[in-house]
Structure 1
Amino acid sequence: MQKWENIGLRKSLTTVQGLKKDFSYNKILKDLKKEFCCNGTVVQDPELGQVIQLQGDQRKNVLTFLVQAGIVKKENIKIHGF
């Protein structure tokens, strides 16, 4: 699941949550940062577990990346904010 948050006037944050625990979040983050030329981090949320946060509005990019990499199926992704 992806979520987009507006931070201030021009800054935004894209979060990716709910991936299987079998995946290496740090490896996925590294690939996402390299692919989209943005910064990001993996944070631990008390309710959601590990969450990937990326700078900027990367919703469509992350959707395409996760589907092409075979990490999730397109019908299992829910994008908020559209």
Structure 2
Amino acid sequence: MFCGPKSIYESMSIQNLINTYDPFADVVKSLEDEVQDGLVHVRIQQRNGRKTLTTVQGLSVEYDLKKIVKACKKEFACNGTVVEHPEYGKVLQLQGDQRQNICQWLTRMELVKPEQLKVHGF
């Protein structure tokens, strides 16, 4: 039986996996920093049929997003919520195609500058 060295090699490979170095770790961190570069992304998502959903991502964490949603719901006569997204953080969701309305409202309330808005969608 030649089991002695086999267990040594297995332990070395496990130790090598535990102590791995990711050479791209700093690149990934810098890309994550670039995502939060001050741009506010306004997107539209198609639901079922003619139903759509407008999402707003990238607002500053200093703002109370629930109060913003409450004001938008009243202003645009639509429903909305704040959703925690694993990649993008807190995202505002509004029912319907509210892209133009939300862009005008955010600039009118001086929460963002017009050059910080990026509108996506069809």
Partner of 1:20: 60
| Residue ranges of structure 1 left out of the alignment (5+ in a row) | none
TM-score by length of 2: 0.66
Q: Which has the larger radius of gyration?
A: 2
Partner amino acid, structure 1, of 2:103: L
**In the comparison of the two structures, how many residue pairs are matched?**
82
Please report the RMSD computed on the Cα atoms of aligned residues, expressed in angstroms.
0.7
1:31 aligned partner:
71
Matching residue of 1:56: 96
**Deviations for 1:28-64, whole angstroms, at most 9, x for unmatched residues?**
0000000000001000001110000000000000000
Aligned to 2:21: none
Q: Does 2:108 match 1:68?
A: yes
**TM-score normalised by length of structure 1:** 0.97
By how many angstroms is 1:8 displaced? 1.4
Whichever structure has more strand as a proportion of its residues is 1
Q: In structure 2, how many angstroms separate the alpha carbons of the residues matched to 1:45 and 1:76?
A: 21
Residue 78 (1) aligns with residue 89 (2): no
1:81 positional shift: 1.0
Q: 1:40 aligns with which of 70, 80, 99?
A: 80
* 2-structure distance, mates of 1:15, 1:5: 8
Structure 2: give runs of 5+ residues left out of the alignment. Answer: 1-40
**Stretches (4+) displaced over 2 A:** none
